[in-house]
Structure 1
Amino acid sequence: MPKEVTFHVNADNNNIINLDLDAGSAATVNITVRDSKNNPYSGGFMIYAKNRRYYNTSGSLTSGSGSVSGLLPGDYVLTTRGGLLSSVTYAFLYKEFSFSGTTAIEAVMEPESVITGKYTRNVDFARETLTAMANIHGSSLGGKEGAPICMVKVNGDGTFRLGELNSQFAYDVMLFTWTRGVQSVATAENIRVSGTIDISELLKPAIDVKASQWQMFSVPYVLPGELAEIKSFFKDFAENNIISVYRWDHALATYTSPLRIEPGNSYWVKSSMAMNVLLPDTAQRTPLDRPHSIKLQKGWNMLATPFDFPFETEMVVVKNGDTVKSFREAVTGTDRWLEPEKFMHNGTTGYVETKNVGPWKGFWWYAKADLELSLEPVYAFDTDKSNISPILPYFSPLVNGSYEKSGRDFLMRIKTVSSGAEDREAYIGTADTAEDGLCALDCRKAPVFKDYVSAAFPQGGELLGRDVKSPVTTFKTWQFDVDSDIDSDITVSWEMIRRAPALRYFLLDVQSGTKIEMSEGSTYAYHAYGQANNPSVRTFKAFAATPEYADMIMAEFGIKKTYAYPNPAVNNARIVANMKSINASGVLVKIYDVSGRLLVTAHMKTDNLVDYYYDWNLNDDKGRSTGSGVYIFRITAISYGNDKTEAQIKRIAVVR
């Protein structure tokens, strides 16, 4: 008997509902969708089959009911509003070829969530090979849209040869869209797209290398024999040119010069002159009829899509020894294998976080263990188009709202800019689900290379690009270091992405002692004397404080009170220094006997940057026990910037 399932949904919203099927064989499910008033739901629905394919429901979706077979535990029902989009405009963006201007394609989404229509467009192809996949971006009444599009030439393998470039062409399309993650899905099957090819535009290069500028590149083709060697790949540009190519070497924990170019790997390149590198005629597309395997080592890995269409994270199956997980499973939880964030270099100034990476580019990905990625092509050009799988994006916790659980949480972006380089991927914040120290919401910092500026948060032996702590009840402190190998003015700026209204925010330059309230400005500038292989490093502290503690942060430097207890001491004593403000870079205690002989020198500890302490065991620094008598302790506080000191002297009695 089919399993009967009825969902009651809010007709004004989209819903993702777990089918909650029993374990065992695949089930047939009769689905009925009704609104909160128990009326038939006018929207449609689809089935998200976990780790398998997407299935359309059969029959009319306008009644909000249908029957689906082959479902297993973990599958989901995805409902969509009827008539969600009246129209949507897409702009096609290709890597292999370009269009003149923006192409507008009108599509109507019917209540049953099927896009229909025939599209015509004159396009200028820059290469004779049609890319298997392109990105589509547009806008609609439902909000920001994105979609992958999978194409195959009618009765062909997706390749146009030069002899065909002056003729009409047509190809079938499988189009999938989403709105803000997996909140709505639409499909269109067997749409015929036609156009006229114009070869008036010259063939564009596969790799465009700018002069005297480091950039990451990759080659999503298999290069035969010696043509895969670095020296052969750039041989046409070797004369009167200096070409440098590097790749990260895990074993040596440094950059080395690679010998060969392989699909799935990315590389740094710099040339003293501009290079337009064309692929050799014998280069072969990375095979699309089988998965492509990429080995990851624990730590940061320089990767690339091995295919000539964008790298989609849902293409990835992750293997850890004999255990296999989907991408979503591998990046979820505190015991995750992979960090969800990936970082690519924007080709000019620095790293940016990215979700999907196009061909010819490179990106960094952090693995928490030695892993193997198995990448399945989205479409392998077989004749059966029923196995085409749409790709829904994964969004990290930074995007999908886990910071928005209470008004106590905030998120701030810190950006650093120098001459020719920038870092805009540094964040501080708080969240109900976060923990102080290294936690699941933190994000590691991608390795720097050359000609860079970088802001990173030291935490638990790691360098973080995002440091998220538990909510502020008094005040919280974030330390970050800005380092650069460029001799340049550096500007530190900040942008509040999500504000906690009750908090105030401060920035402290530890080197100079300069402290500012961040709401009263948005930038701070200084000069860094960085050099190649000898970067300049400057330390900052950022504070978030409740109103009662904010004044203490901005107060003048000084010692408020010092004392020792118990006094007199018998076995041990705690010596305490309370500061007037959070302005001390260090607090030192020295203990003397009454003759002035120095017995103990120690740096005092603090848990909150205000109250400092030293636990004295009543021995001197050589471990010798002190006798009964009166002792003198001197506490000296040093300000940030080392431009101020203040001291207090008190006495403590010891009774043996």
Structure 2
Amino acid sequence: MTVRRITLLFALVSLLSSQSYELRTFQISLSQKPMESDSLILKGALGSNFYQTSGADTLTLKGGLWNIAAGLYSEPPAVRSILPDTIYDNKMPVLARAIATDLNGIAQTNLYVQLGGDQSPIIIPMTVMNDTLFEALIPDSLISIFNLRTHVESIDNMAHTGESVYETPSVEFPENELTMEENYSYYPQGIQPEKWRMFSWPGQLDDAQVNTSSLEDGHVFYDWDPNEGQWMKPDTLKIGKGYWFKHRYGESVVFKNKNTAGMAVPLEDRTLHLHSGWNMVGSPFAFPVQTEYNEENVSGLYRWGSGNKDGWVGPVDTFEPWAGYAVYNYGDADSIVLKPFADTASASRIVSAGWKLALKADGENYFDHTGKIGRREDATENKDGFDTPTLPTLGDYLILAMDVEGQGRFEHSVDVRSLDEFNGVWDIQITGKGEPGPVSVSGSILDHMPEDLHLALVDVPGRVVVDQFLQTGLLIEETITTAYELKLVAGDEQYVERTVLNILSEIPEEFSLSQNYPNPFNPLTKIDFALPKTGEVVITIYNILGQEVTTLVNQRLDYGYHTVTWWGTDRAGRPVSSGVYFSELRARGFRQTKKMLLLK
């Protein structure tokens, strides 16, 4: 850059010497600032490229080679910083150098040191070693597991500022330096016994091997092998990966690099590549970092457990150190990008028009904080990438799920639909195992809600309508052992009122088995029955001796009114003889029988 500037100036002087001109002045300002009490006359071919734009004693020169020269002097300093690629643990300050050049001369050069997890840099003035070389020492106290990045800014004598690119070294940390008890950790008290938890390792260990063990030995690690489709016990802990961990020791387990040193990874954007389906991931950074991903294919981050309770939380957009996460990928080649600093993030994640509501279910021992419903402009009414499947369960559980496709399969925790429709009904089901109850269901607004959007929650088993659901929530007093049905109606006021009434009319007040018709019959008869709750249903036909003839229904049925036909045959399909028979309904502890007469 310096050579180019000198060459241009030499050309300018040579060209001036070959022209006819008269120069009468004390100075020519290349700063484009007004000159006081001076006169300037330029003649000849060169002078014809200049013109005066103001009167009196102030003269501004524009055009021709003058602009080239003025442009050179108005350019900012060229700055290059020099820092080791790896900072080793030698308890010594780190020497940072910079080379800064500018035609106006360098007035000041500063080193900016930004620690991981801190958005405000530390400014260290650099010492002038010669016209272009500057040095500064980074104190050893700033070297830590959180790592750092640096850049240099130089100001020339005309107040123009130039800066270098960022230097992002690796930082070595010694044994016992990286611990789960540090400030940013998601598990500052360690991982409690007898609880499955997901964790990850925020750093590159020199020796990352783990001994294979089982829970009977005291603890166990598990990883998911997507290629084999099965759980495996890892022999090495890798950065960017999440692992399941459980132990049976008397106190909480605190992880640290006890017998091995390691490296804090450079503070650069880091990409985690995802395979199709569920992935177990973690952050390689020792401080919280934001993420960027394609919301149409990637679910966001889900975390397991909170305190002494078990359940899923999410999705969240921040990776916390030591925590492990589950993330779902609908595509084959998508990824999540970890952003250690806000200035490397995109201007903002595009906020889609629409609305979104968070749904939570909280019990005595378990919870599910993954429910989301809503509408957005780029979603569809059918299943798409914005609809996240329910997460895997571990032993006992509490799950809030939705029937996205309207086929009675409650397999999703998120159901986001198109803005092409305003009105709609979301079918919700809460299931539990080992949860004594009661269970509270609550909702909260995540995005702006349209002013004319009304909500009502229908408690199907209780035949109760909650008009102020967002304010009051719903408390389910009974122990949930099978599916507990809810319907959330959203739309304009008239639609909500009309739809709620229709739903209530479809919910029987009690279990009942109706008398068959026709009766007597030959060869077929119909049997109506009513179910106020969804669950397993069995309808059996017996003869006068109490012997089972056939089973007409043995399956899970939704609440409502149902009809089944008996063709007067046994379980092998053979016609039965005339006589008295009995139909029996069994469902959720209810039992009722009716007498029938077959006449041939």
User: What is the TM-score with the length of structure 1 in the denominator?
Assistant: 0.48
> Is 2:283 the partner of 1:305?
yes
Q: Distance in 2 between matches of 1:158 and 1:633?
A: 98
Q: Distance in 1 between matches of 2:318 and 2:545?
A: 72
| Post-superposition CA distance 1:535-589 (Å, at most 9, x none) | xx55423345622442653623324564369x876xxx67241538557852515
Pairing of 1:33-112 with structure 2 (within 5 A): none
Choose between structure 1 and 2: higher helix proportion. Answer: 2
For 1:390, the aligned partner's letter is S
1:505 partner SS: strand
Q: Distance in 2 between matches of 1:596 and 1:522?
A: 44
Number of positions where the alignment pairs a residue of Structure 1 with one of Structure 2:
413
| Post-superposition CA distance 1:593-627 (Å, at most 9, x none) | x9999754311789863232335566543233679
Relative distance call for 1:302 and 1:277 in structure 2 (3 A) is same
> Is 2:506 the partner of 1:555?
no
Q: Which residue of 2 aligns with 1:261?
A: 237
| Post-superposition CA distance 1:216-240 (Å, at most 9, x none) | 332232212xx212369xxxxxxxx
Q: Distance in 2 between matches of 1:190 and 1:206?
A: 37
User: What is the TM-score with the length of structure 2 in the denominator?
Assistant: 0.52
Pairing of 1:547-586 with structure 2 (within 5 A): 547-550=501-504, 553=507, 555-559=509-513, 562-563=516-517, 575-579=526-530, 581=532, 586=537
> Is 2:426 the partner of 1:479?
no
Q: Distance in 2 between matches of 1:159 and 1:599?
A: 91
Q: Distance in 2 between matches of 1:585 and 1:621?
A: 20
Q: Distance in 2 between matches of 1:472 and 1:626?
A: 54
Q: How far apart are residue 264 of structure 1 and its match?
A: 0.4
Answer yes or no: is the 8 Å Cα contact 1:303–1:365 preserved in 2. yes
Q: Distance in 2 between matches of 1:262 and 1:358?
A: 16
> Is 2:362 the partner of 1:416?
yes
Q: Distance in 1 between matches of 2:135 and 2:504?
A: 66
Q: Which residue of 2 aligns with 1:623?
A: 573
| Post-superposition CA distance 1:13-38 (Å, at most 9, x none) | xxxxxxxxxxxxxxxxxxxxxxxxxx
Q: How far apart are residue 362 of structure 1 and its match?
A: 1.9
1:546 partner SS: helix
379, 392, 395: which is aligned to 1:447? Answer: 392
Answer yes or no: is the 8 Å Cα contact 1:341–1:365 preserved in 2. yes
346, 351, 363: which is aligned to 2:312? Answer: 351
Q: How far apart are residue 171 of structure 1 and its match?
A: 6.7
> Is 2:370 the partner of 1:425?
yes
Q: How far apart are residue 256 of structure 1 and its match?
A: 4.4
Relative distance call for 1:243 and 1:557 in structure 2 (3 A) is closer
For 1:493, the aligned partner's letter is S
Relative distance call for 1:412 and 1:553 in structure 2 (3 A) is farther
Relative distance call for 1:153 and 1:564 in structure 2 (3 A) is farther
Q: How far apart are residue 346 of structure 1 and its match?
A: 5.7
Q: Which residue of 1 aligns with 2:131?
A: none
> Is 2:182 the partner of 1:228?
no
Relative distance call for 1:247 and 1:581 in structure 2 (3 A) is closer
For 1:229, the aligned partner's letter is Q
Percent identity between the two aligned chains: 15
| Post-superposition CA distance 1:115-155 (Å, at most 9, x none) | xxxxxxxxxxxxxx9544557xxxxxxxxxxxxx8999888
Pairing of 1:248-397 with structure 2 (within 5 A): 248-250=224-226, 255-269=231-245, 270=247, 272-274=250-252, 277-279=255-257, 282-287=261-266, 292=271, 294=273, 296-308=274-286, 310-314=288-292, 327-328=293-294, 331-332=295-296, 338-345=297-304, 348=307, 349=309, 350-353=311-314, 354-368=316-330, 371=333, 373=335, 375=337, 388-390=344-346, 392-393=348-349
Q: Which residue of 1 aligns with 2:185?
A: none
Q: Runs of 5+ in structure 2 lacking a partner?
A: 1-112, 127-133, 154-161, 165-175, 182-187, 489-498
Q: Distance in 2 between matches of 1:133 and 1:428?
A: 33
Q: Runs of 5+ in structure 1 lacking a partner?
A: 1-128, 136-148, 175-188, 192-201, 233-240, 315-326, 333-337, 405-410, 509-513, 529-536
The Cα RMSD (Å) is: 5.6
2:539 partner SS: strand
Q: Distance in 2 between matches of 1:152 and 1:574?
A: 89
Relative distance call for 1:365 and 1:173 in structure 2 (3 A) is farther
